[in-house]
Each structure stands twice: as C-alpha cells, then as structure tokens.
Amino acid sequence: MRVQQKRAEKEAENHEHIHGESGETVGGKGESKTAEYKLRLRTEPFPSDVRKKIEQKIRKIESGNPFFRQKENEEEQLEKIMELPWYQTSKEIKDLNLAQKKLDEAHFGLEKVKQRILEYLAVQQITGKSQGQVLCFVGHPGTGKTTFARSVAEAMGRKFVALSLNGVHDEAEVRGHRPTYISARPGLIAEALVQAKVKNPVIFLDEVDKASQVTGHHGNVSAALLTILDPEQNTKFRDNYIEIPIDLSQVFFICGANYLRNIPAPLKDRMTIIHFPSYTTTDKFQIAQEKLIPKTLTTKGLDPQKFTFTTKAIKEIINYYDAP
C-alpha cells in the first residue's frame, strides 16, 4: 500500500513538472502571459481590427496543446502584434527655426541641401501632408546623409530609425515571413516601428539603390518599397507575419542612395531628390577644426583647451587619410 502511494506521489510530481515546463500550471508562466495579454487588451486602446485579432490569438493559445510548437509560435506572433505601436505617437514639433538650428549644429556648409529640406518641411507643415513625395538623399558615403536624416527627426520631435537595404534580396525581409514558416519574423518596416515605439517616426531607408530589383522566387524588393512609400497604398500595408493592415501614413520616410541611376524609375518618381555633394578640402578643414577635433577630444576625456592641432597637421590628415 505504501509502495503504491509513493508511486502515485511520484507520478503527480512528474505530471506537475511537465506542465510546469510547458507553462500550463496554475499561476505558471503560460497562464501569467495569457493574463497579461487580457489585461493589456482591457486597458489599452487598440484599434478594433487589432483587438479582434488579439482576441482570436488568445483563444487559440488557451485551447492549444501546450506541448505543440504551434502554441509557442502563436505566442511569439501575438507578442509581436502587441509590441507594434498601433496608437502611440510622438507630439510633433512644427518649428522651422528649430529645424534650421538642428541642421546647422549637425553640419557645416551644404546650404543648398539645408534650404531644400526646410522648403520641404514648410510645405508639409502648411498642407499637413508630404504631397506623395519622399525625400531621397543622394551622395557618396560619408557626405552626411544619415546624420541629416537624424537631424530632421530631431527638428520634428520624432523618433528616428535607420535601416540599411544593402544586400536585401528577399521581399519577405521587407514584408515579413508567413507565420507558418520556420523562424518566421516580421519584416524590416514592422520591426522598425517596434523599435521606434510610435507610429509616426522618421524611418531612414538607406542604400535603396542596392536593394534587389530582380523579380524571382523571392519576390521584388523594389516593388515592396514602392508599396510602402506610396501614400495611396501604405495606409493598409500588410506584413505577412503580423497579418493585420498597418497604417504607415504617419511615418516620415527618407531614402538614401549612393547612385541615383541605380534606383528604379517607378521608385524614383515617388522621390524628391536632394543631392549631397562631396566635401571640398576647405570644407573638411573647417569640419575638422570646428567639430571633429573638439568632439573627439571631449569623447576621449581630454581638455580641448590643452591641445592644439596646427593647420599643417590637419591638412596632412585630410590629404593622406585614405592613402595606402
């Protein structure tokens, strides 16, 4: 009798351990996560279509077999859906004087580029929209395209996310993978919104000229970008992993490219092109003397007042920086 009792107790312990590992014990990880989903659903103002999808996912998770991989996939997908900023926004600053100040602080020269950006922002503030055009900064690496884009975000009071499209050959990297696939995940745009935590960030799509333009087994990346940047289509952008239309109309997209000729014509038609000229030796000297040297010394914990770089030394560095 005692042996049978011990055996029963042992089986009960094993059963509890197995369910504890799966997250299905009372008060365990599985139930606490489901309770968290329900609490957020009650307290957060999700749009109706998002709310409906979340409710469906919760029911599916609760009714699913805890030992199946499918349940874990459903939980991962639901977490990504709930991480997206469906209603959160940054309060935008509409101050062109501040925009001018931010651009001047971050960059030396390039006055024509700054003027083009300020004109673009002014039109957008007056009309409340970007007129269907997207800024595209074109110039060689190192001419300040990313820094300019970041300064625009700061001047607007928006969050900033930079994405590189160099080497992106699969359309699923932009649109997301279907959740039934192994190691499925959202696309670059959805992940950028998760990173920004607001639905109206500035997203800098760098190296659009290097994204794949080939239509094949993996789809056409450039065609996917056209959908994202087109205001007639991006109000209901569909990420394959999220499975709910995402409104991208409040996102301020800025593109970056090294060579204009490599951008497909349909995509180029959606862009306001701003060329970033290469810095002259005089520009580089001024940038080094007024910005780079003081910043570098401060970063290294050195007093800029105690160090002096002669004109000859700075020019030597400029002239021979890239020398073999």
Say if residue 258 is in the same domain as residue 166: yes
Q: Is residue 89 part of a domain?
A: no
Give the end of a domain, one of 21, 49, 83: 83
Q: Does the structure show a pLDDT above 60 at 257?
A: yes
Which of the four pLDDT bands, split at 50, 70 and 90, describes residue 304?
confident
* CATH number of the domain bearing residue 270: 3.40.50.300
Which of the four pLDDT bands, split at 50, 70 and 90, describes residue 55?
very high
pLDDT at 322: 56
Say if residue 21 is in the same domain as residue 68: yes
Residue type, 5: Q
C-alpha–C-alpha distance, residues 32 and 26, integer Å:
9
Say if residue 62 is in the same domain as residue 165: no
Say if residue 62 is in the same domain as residue 150: no
Say if residue 63 is in the same domain as residue 105: no
Say if residue 187 is in the same domain as residue 237: yes
Range of the domain at 170: 96-275
Q: Is residue 210 part of a domain?
A: yes
Q: Is residue 125 part of a domain?
A: yes
Chain segment 143-187, per-residue pLDDT in tens: 889 988 998 898 888 999 999 998 888 888 999 998 888 788 999
Q: Is residue 88 part of a domain?
A: no
pLDDT at 280: 67
Choose between 282 and 56: higher pLDDT: 56
Q: Is residue 22 part of a domain?
A: yes
Q: Compute the average pLDDT of residues 4-19.
A: 45
pLDDT at 14: 46
Helix axes of 111-127 and 96-106: crossing angle, nearest 10 degrees: 150
Mean pLDDT score of the chain, rounded to an integer? 81
**DSSP H or E stretch at residue 68:** none
Q: Is residue 90 part of a domain?
A: no
Chain segment 204-256, per-residue pLDDT in tens: 999 999 886 655 556 688 888 988 998 888 899 999 999 999 999 889 999 99
Residue type, 139: G
C-alpha–C-alpha distance, residues 166 and 164, integer Å:
6
Chain segment 64-105, per-residue pLDDT in tens: 666 566 778 888 899 999 999 999 999 888 888 888 888 887
Q: Is residue 91 part of a domain?
A: no
pLDDT at 132: 60
Say if residue 201 is in the same domain as residue 262: yes
Chain segment 12-21, per-residue pLDDT in tens: 444 444 344 4
Give the end of a domain, one of 30, 57, 83: 83
pLDDT at 21: 40
C-alpha–C-alpha distance, residues 206 and 289, integer Å:
28
Say if residue 122 is in the same domain as residue 186: yes
Q: Compute the average pLDDT of residues 253-281.
A: 86
In the structure encoding, which two tokens stand for residue 293, read together? 């040297």
pLDDT at 26: 37
Give the end of a domain, one of 83, 113, 147: 83
Q: Compute the average pLDDT of residues 314-318.
A: 81
Domain count, the chain: 3
Say if residue 103 is in the same domain as residue 237: yes
With a pLDDT cut of 90, the percent of the chain lying above it is 30
Say if residue 263 is in the same domain as residue 290: no
Say if residue 160 is in the same domain as residue 136: yes
C-alpha–C-alpha distance, residues 172 and 169, integer Å:
9
Q: Which has the closest alpha carbon to 161: 201, 134, 121, 208? A: 201
Say if residue 114 is in the same domain as residue 170: yes
Radius of gyration of the chain (CA): 26
